[in-house]
Structure 1
Amino acid sequence: MGLFDRLRGKRKPGTLRGATKQDTSHLDEWASSRTGVEAYVEPRTNVTDTTVVLVAHDGEWTRRRISDFDAAMDFGRKRSIPVYEVARVGYPKRMRDYMARQKREGRA
């Protein structure tokens, strides 16, 4: 182990960080504080692990890692949130509208 290896952390370059309890608690808190929440699962890529995007009724959204599609389905089932695959259905229009409003208002 080199001198700077300890400072860099234990992960090797190119390895993905998996979902943590903090990710799940953020999703829990976010979903419980908003109405009309739906979940959109993004598949794993070379750069990121599987993620889930929660979108509220007004288009506000958040994204966090989740271990896999089945975990996203369990998350949605436990909270009565519909779960969709982004690759099949795309993102909802209200999410795009929300981002456009944020950009116009100078918040993004």
Structure 2
Amino acid sequence: MSFRWGFGRRRSSAPPIDRATIAHLDEFASSRRGVEAFLEPQTTMARTSLLLVASDGEWTRRSIESPAWARQFAGRHGLPLYDAAVVGYPQRMRDFNARQKGRRVTE
């Protein structure tokens, strides 16, 4: 019997996305104006994720099963899809986060 380290083996695919996650992304994309999608690549610490950012900077992020799923989702909703590792994150998202942080301090 020979031992094989597993090089060249295909990794198991990511688990399918649950209905609650799909419903959340659908609701965000359809209820906000100017939504853009940003694909965040898988890292050693995190699965592939989809970040949706509205025109006012409000955002949501969820783990997804693959970049292909992100492309299908964006196409179904008519959203532009960007690679976050290439283009980065929009300034309006950082501005939104700063406004939210300021609200928490004063409330």
TM > 0.5 fold call: yes
Identify the residue that residue 3 of structure 1 maps to in structure 2: none
**1:15-94 → structure 2 map (5 Å cutoff):** 19-94=17-92
Establish whether residue 101 from structure 1 lines up as the match of residue 95 from structure 2: no
| Alpha-carbon RMSD | 1.6
What per-residue deviation string (whole Å, max 9, x for no partner) do you get for residues 39-92 of structure 1?
Answer: 001111122211001000000000011111111011000110000010000000
Using the size of structure 1 for normalisation, the TM-score is: 0.79
Deviates more, 1:39-48 or 1:92-101: 39-48
Q: Percent same amino acid at aligned positions?
A: 48
Using the size of structure 2 for normalisation, the TM-score is: 0.80
Structure 2 residue ranges without an equivalent (≥5): 1-13
Per-residue deviation, 1:19? 2.8
Q: Which runs of 4+ in 1 moved over 6 A?
A: none
Distance 1:18 1:103 in 2: 33
- The count of residues paired between Structure 1 and Structure 2 equals 92
Distance 1:91 1:18 in 2: 26
Classify the secondary structure of the residue corresponding to 2:37: strand
Structure 1 residue ranges without an equivalent (≥5): 1-15
Change beyond 3 A, Cα 1:17–1:48: farther
Q: Is the 8 A contact 1:18 1:49 kept in 2?
A: no
Identify the residue that residue 11 of structure 2 maps to in structure 1: none
